[in-house]
Amino acid sequence: MMEEWKSLDFLGYPNYEVSNQGKVRNARTGIERKPQKREYGYLQVNLYNDKKQKMFKIHRLVAMAFLPNPDNLPCINHRDETPSNNCVDNLEWCTYQYNNTYGTHMQKVSDALKGRKLSEEHKRKMSERMKDTWSNTEFRNVMSEKLKGKTSWIKGKHHSEETKHRISEANKGKTLSEEAKRKLSESKKGKNNPMFGKCFTEEHRRKMSEAQKGRVFSEETRRKISEAQKGKKLSEETRRKLSESHKAYWEKKKTAI
C-alpha cells in the first residue's frame, strides 16, 4: 500500500501529519514522532500547539483522517487484534459492544482475571460506587427503559449450561450474614423496590402459570427450602398482606365461576 499523508489541521494541529500506515510526523521538518507504547499495547504520540501538549492514540488519528464515520460510531477496532498495527486497512469504526466482544477479546479478559482476588478495600470502593450509581433516579429510569421489551440487551439471551454450572459451583457454601440480609431487605422496601406500584398483566400471569405446570421440586430442593424456612416467622404486616391477597384471589375466582 502506497503511503499517504494527511494534515491534522482538522484537530487544530496544523503542524503535524498522519499517514495511512500509522505514522505521525512534523509537517514542516518531516521528522517522524516517536510513539510511546501504553497500556494493552496501544501506541500514542504527544502533539504540541501553542506550547500546550496533548497525547493522542495513533489508531484514532489514522481513523479520523482516513476512514469515513457517517454513523458517528464511538470505537475503533483492530481487525487483527494487534493494538500496535495502526495501518488504515487494519482499522474499522464500530460500537462498544462490537469492540468488546470482537475475536478473542473476551477470552483474553477471562484469562487475565483468572486467579485474581480483590482486596477488601477494593470491594468496599466498588460497593460504594454501585450504591452511588443506583441511588441516582435518572440512571435507574434510563436502565429501566433499556431493559424493556425489544430494547433490552438481554432479551432472548441465556446462560450456557457451562456458565450455569460455574455460577452454581462459585455460590456453593456461600451464605449472607444477618447484617447483609438486613441491608438487602431495607434497600428493597417501599419505593426502593423495583416492583413498587407495578402489577403483572393477565397475559404475563398466564405465561407464568403455563411455565410452572408440571414442575416438581426434587427431594433435595424441598429439603433445602424446608431448612431455610425453619424458625422463620412472618411479621403481622406480611400476614395481613398475604391474607388480603388470598381473599382478593378467591373473590376473583368466585366471580369468574
Tens digits of residue pLDDT in 25-66: 999 999 999 999 987 889 999 999 888 899 999 999 999 999
Domain of residue 52, CATH code: 3.90.75.20
Model-level pTM?
A: 0.49
The answer to whether residue 119 is domain-embedded is no
CA atoms of 224 and 175, how far apart (whole Å): 13
The answer to whether residue 31 is domain-embedded is yes
Number of domains in the chain: 1
Could you read off the pLDDT of 130-169 as tens digits, one per residue? 887 777 777 777 777 766 665 555 667 788 888 888 888 8
The answer to whether residue 49 is domain-embedded is yes
The answer to whether residue 53 is domain-embedded is yes
The answer to whether residue 59 is domain-embedded is yes
CA atoms of 76 and 57, how far apart (whole Å): 11
Distances, alpha carbon 185 to alpha carbons 23, 85, 182, in Å: 57, 51, 5
Least confident of 141-145, 216-220, 237-241: 141-145
The answer to whether residue 183 is domain-embedded is no
CA atoms of 86 and 57, how far apart (whole Å): 10
Q: Nearest-CA neighbor of 92 among 73, 118, 112, 113?
A: 73
Q: What is the mean pLDDT of residues 69-84?
A: 93
The answer to whether residue 100 is domain-embedded is yes
Domain enclosing residue 34, as ranges: 5-111
